[in-house]
Amino acid sequence: MAARRDWLLGRFPWARSRSSVDCAAAECNESSDCASESSLTERDPHLMDVLREVIALRQAGDVQASLALVDRSLAEGMSSNYLLDNRARALAQLNRENEAIQIWEFLSECGDLELQEKSKRLVFQQKCRYVLNRVVYFSRLGDAHEALTILDLAQAEGIENDMLLDNRARIFVQLNRHIEAISIWKKLSQSNPKKYNAILINQLVGALQLICRSQGWNVQYFNRDLETLDALEKGVLKECELLRKRGYAQPLIQLVDKALESGFESPWLVIAKANALIELEKFVDAQNLLNHFKDSVHEQHALAAMEQMLDALSGDVEVELVLRAAVRLKAKGDLDAAQDLLVKALLQNHSCVVYEETLQQLLVERGEKNPALQAFELFLGEAEKMQTAALISGQ
């Protein structure tokens, strides 16, 4: 615990004990009846005059004079939580946040409920402000890791607001953790779309364009000028269609993966990726992808399209599974088993050219001079075996 406190003190000065001046003021105030602060203020014209002058000086921009008047009044024995509150406000304006925080933390436990709540709110605001200043300082120094450490510590202490979340996202960008940054801005845009949508779109476009460029593709249908997330999603879908038409299946898959990872939810992106996988003859992967997303799709047109694709894929999936099994058997050196598997598969689907070609290729690898004839003979032999077995079982 001691080590943790030392670490805290290095970043958040308000974790220190209150200064002697603040403690003296607090002790003086503790001797008064905090619950009757409002009535006391109303009965003391001199205190009211001092408070008016303190506030007027501060509002006029003479913060030092305002603070000096408060300190002089406290030193002369004047006791008021409102004087302490105004002292804290002056300190905050002079960027002495930790001293202001210490005063407001004391006032947050006084008997005046209104002042309690106000002080708690000001403590939180000042802590957020202090954390923000430290984060910006280290960010500008290029020390994003230290900035993130401060944000993590503050978050653990319950110190977080939209501004700190926004800066957390910016730090993530500095650390090339774009998806985490996008996730934060997406959350912020839900409560304040006017402020954060532009930032979110800018980051999304940047991340998506980057993945396309890495695949040798220059984006044509979406850019940072788009004003809404819907417009961006439509642009990405149009880009996918263009990639499909041009035969760029792999860049299309990478683009969709990044879009889905970034929080896009359109089922048509999934369908676009499935089509690209089919183009690459990765039928099992396409089937798995569609099955994974199908249950979460509520758009009927998209759901119907997925189901049609799954129906159409069933035959191709079966072929791919057989070929994968044959490859595994060959890798193990069990060529007889691979050959037997392909012959039986061809017997079940004798119009499948892929089975026939794969079987002939295997026979060539085994030294067969006339693979087409040998494949036909193997096919006939297996057919006769099946016919004989059927006759025996029928007797």
Per residue in 250-293, pLDDT tens? Answer: 999 999 999 998 889 899 999 999 999 999 999 999 999 999 99
Which amino acid, 52? Answer: R
Q: Is the pLDDT higher at 32 or at 276?
A: 276
Tokens of 135: 């984060």
Residue in 111, 20, 31, 35 with CA at minimum distance from that of residue 78: 31
Judgement on whether residues 292 and 376 belong to the same structural domain of the protein: no
Tokens of 71: 């300190």
Judgement on whether residues 352 and 306 belong to the same structural domain of the protein: no
Judgement on whether residues 280 and 375 belong to the same structural domain of the protein: no
Q: CB count, 10 Å around CB of 82? A: 21
Q: How confident is the model at residue 223 (pLDDT cuts 50, 70, 90)?
A: confident
Single pTM value for the model: 0.62
Average pLDDT across the chain, whole number? 84
DSSP letter string, 188-208: HHHH-HHHHHHHHHHHHHHHH
pLDDT single digits (tens) 104-129: 888 888 878 888 888 888 888 888 98
Judgement on whether residues 307 and 363 belong to the same structural domain of the protein: no
- Has residue 225 got a pLDDT over 90? no
Judgement on whether residues 384 and 288 belong to the same structural domain of the protein: no
Which pLDDT does position 15 carry in this prediction? 55
Residue 115 lies in a domain: yes
Q: CB count, 10 Å around CB of 231? A: 13
Judgement on whether residues 290 and 344 belong to the same structural domain of the protein: no
Last residue of a domain, one of 286, 314, 342: 314
| 212 vs 239: CA distance, rounded Å | 10
Judgement on whether residues 111 and 22 belong to the same structural domain of the protein: yes
3-class secondary-structure state, position 342: helix
For 135-169, letters b (16+ CB in 10 Å) and e give: beebbeeeebebbbbbbebbeeeebbeeebbbbbb
Residue 81 lies in a domain: yes
Judgement on whether residues 8 and 62 belong to the same structural domain of the protein: yes
Last residue of a domain, one of 280, 314, 348: 314
Last residue of a domain, one of 68, 102, 136: 136
Q: What is the residue range of 375's domain?
A: 333-390
DSSP-derived letter for residue 17 is P
Residue 236 lies in a domain: no
Judgement on whether residues 296 and 384 belong to the same structural domain of the protein: no
Three-point CA angle 165, 168, 170, nearest 5°: 115
Residue 176 lies in a domain: no
Mean pLDDT of 168-188: 89
- Has residue 394 got a pLDDT over 70? no
**H or E element: which one contains 104?**
helix 97-107
Tell me the angle at which helices 2-11 and 144-156 cross, rounded to the nearest 10 degrees.
Answer: 120
Judgement on whether residues 12 and 76 belong to the same structural domain of the protein: yes
Are the C-beta atoms of residues 375 and 356 closer than 8 Å to each other? yes
Residue 203 lies in a domain: no
Residue 84 lies in a domain: yes
| 370 vs 317: CA distance, rounded Å | 30
Percent of the chain with pLDDT over 90: 36
Residue 142 lies in a domain: no
CATH number, residue 79? 1.25.40
Judgement on whether residues 124 and 26 belong to the same structural domain of the protein: yes
- Please list, in sequence order, all residues whose beta carbon lies within 8 angstroms of the beta carbon of residue 22, skipping any fewer than 6 positions away: 99, 102, 103, 106
Residue 229 lies in a domain: no
Judgement on whether residues 275 and 338 belong to the same structural domain of the protein: no
Q: Count up the domains in the chain and report the number.
A: 3
